[in-house]
Amino acid sequence: MKKQIFILMAAMALLLVSCGGGGSTTGKQKQITLSAAGATFPQPFYNLAFKKYNEAGGPLINYGGIGSGGGIKSLRDQIVDFAATDAYLSDAELAEMPGEVVHIPTCIGAVVIAYNLPGVTDLQLTPELLEGIFLGNIKKWNDPKILAANPGLAVPDMEITVVYRSDGSGTTYIFSDYMSKVSPAWKAQLGTGKALNWPAGIGAKGNPGVSGTISQSQGSIGYIGYEYAFAQKIPMAKVMNSAGLFIEPTLESFTAAAAAEMPADTRVMLTNSPNPAAYPITSFTWIIMYKELAYGKHSSEAAEAAVKTVKWLTGEEAQAIATSVHYAALPQNASLQAAELLRGITYQGLTVLR
C-alpha cells in the first residue's frame, strides 16, 4: 500500500513541477521570450512584425490581443514586458501605475465608415450626417439630408441599420472622440468612451464581427478599422474634414493627420486634424512600457530585448510592414520623438539603448 501512496505523491510532485516552470527566459534555448498584451486594433500589424523580427533573430514575442484595457491592467500588474493601447492613459490612469510609464506611438490607424448599400460605392458623409445616423435621428437612406450631401447619387429607399461594437474597444473610443469634437449633441448624449450607450442599431463583437455583419446586411452602416474594410472590400464613405473637404480614407490622408505639432509625451488624439489633406478619424496606437525597467524579477536581458523590439517597431523596416497591412506609417516627427523617448528608458538607472 505504501508503494501506491508513494507513486501517487511522485505523480503529484511531477505535475506541480511541470506546471510551475515558465518565466521570461527558458533554460534550454538562449532565445529570449517576451510577453506583451493589449489592443486588437493594431494586432494584425504587431503579429506580422513580431513574427518577422523573430525570424530575423529577435526575441520570441507572445502578443495577446486582449484589448487596450486588458493591456493596461497587465502592465500595471507587471505581468508583461510591454503593453499596447489605442487610447493614451489619462493622468488618473498614469497615477495608478506603480512606476512612470512612457507612450511610444507605433503607427497610425484610422476608423472608417463602412456601409452596405446596393449600387452605391461613393457615399459622402458630413459630421452632421454621422451624428444624425448614429444617434438614430436619420432613419432612411433617402433622407433629404443625405441626398443633399450626395448630389446625383441614386440612394435607395431603405431603412438604415447602424452596427456598432458590442464589446469595449479602442475603435469605439477613436470614433466617439472624433464625434464628440464635431457634434455637441453627441458629446452631451453619448460622450467619449470605449463602450457607449447606443440609442439605435445592433451590436457585433470585434472588428471582424462588425465588418461581417455589415457585409451581410443590406442597408447597414458602421465604423471599423480601415484594414478590415480594406481586406473585406467593404465600401467606405468619404468624410468631410475640418477644412470642409470630403476626404477619401487612404494611408496618405491618415499620415497627414499626424503632421501637426505633438506634445513631448506623444499623448495626443489626432482626430479632426486641422490639416486640409487629413482624413479626420485617425489615431496613433501606442506601446506603453515602464521608464525604469528594473522591477520585480524583470531581467536586464528582457528589458534590453523589449526596448530594442519597440525601437525596431518604430523604425523604417517595421513601418514598411505596417504599410503593407494598411496602417499608415509614422510621420518623421513622430518617429524621431519615439526614438527620443526610448533613449530615456533605463534599467537600474542606466540607459538601456547605448
Partner 1 sequence: MSGDRVTKVLLFISSLTILLLSAGIVISLFGGALPAFREFGFRFITSSAWNPTAGSEEYGAMSFIAGTVITSILALIICIPMAFSTSLFIAEYYKGTRTSGILRSLVDLLAGIPSIVYGFWGFYALRPLLVATGLTDQGFGVFTASLVLAIMIVPYATSLSAEIISMVPAELKEAAYSLGATRREVIFSVVIPSARSGIIASFILALGRALGETMAVTMLIGNANVIPKGLFAPGNTMASVIANQFGEASGLKMSALIAIGLLLFMITALVNYLGKLIIKRFA
The minimum distance between CB 68 and partner 1, in angstroms, equals 7
The minimum distance between CB 217 and partner 1, in angstroms, equals 5
3-class SS at 240? strand
Residue 203 in contact with partner 1, rule: CB under 8 A: yes
Residue 294 in contact with partner 1, rule: CB under 8 A: no
Binding mask 70-89 for partner 1 (x = CB under 8 A): x--x----------------
Closest to partner 1 by CB, 95 vs 264, is 95
Rounded Cα–Cα distance for residues 144 and 157 (Å): 11
Rounded Cα–Cα distance for residues 103 and 291 (Å): 10
The three three-digit cell numbers of residue 144, written as one number: 433629404
Closest to partner 1 by CB, 12 vs 336, is 12
Torsion angle in degrees (nearest 10) through CA of 198, 90, 223, 210: -80
Secondary element (H or E) of residue 37:
strand 33-38
Task: Point out which span in 47-55, 120-128, 159-167, 306-314 binds partner 1 (CB under 8 A).
Answer: 159-167
Q: Within 10 Å of residue 203's Cβ, how many Cβ atoms?
A: 16
205-244 residues in contact with partner 1 (CB under 8 A) are 205, 209, 212-213, 216-217, 219-220
Task: Point out which span in 15-23, 64-72, 130-138, 280-288 binds partner 1 (CB under 8 A).
Answer: 64-72
33-62 residues in contact with partner 1 (CB under 8 A) are none
Residue 298 in contact with partner 1, rule: CB under 8 A: no
Could you please report the per-residue DSSP string of 259-295?
Answer: -S---TT-----SS-S-TTS-SSEEEEEEEEESB---
95-154 residues in contact with partner 1 (CB under 8 A) are none
Contact 160, 133 (CB under 8 A): yes
Sign of CA dihedral 263, 265, 271, 276: positive
Residue 67 in contact with partner 1, rule: CB under 8 A: yes
Whole-angstrom distance between the N-terminal and C-terminal Cα of the chain?
Answer: 63
Rounded Cα–Cα distance for residues 124 and 301 (Å): 52
Task: Point out which span in 44-52, 67-75, 260-268, 289-297 binds partner 1 (CB under 8 A).
Answer: 67-75
Q: How many residues bind partner 1 (CB under 8 A)?
A: 36
Rounded Cα–Cα distance for residues 176 and 185 (Å): 12
**Residue 328's closest CA among 287, 286, 282, 274?**
282
The minimum distance between CB 103 and partner 1, in angstroms, equals 18
Residue 168 in contact with partner 1, rule: CB under 8 A: yes
Identify the residue among 191, 263, 276, 344 touching partner 1 (CB under 8 A). 191
Residues that bind partner 1 (CB under 8 A): 1, 4-5, 66-70, 73, 159, 161, 166-169, 190-198, 201-205, 209, 212-213, 216-217, 219-220
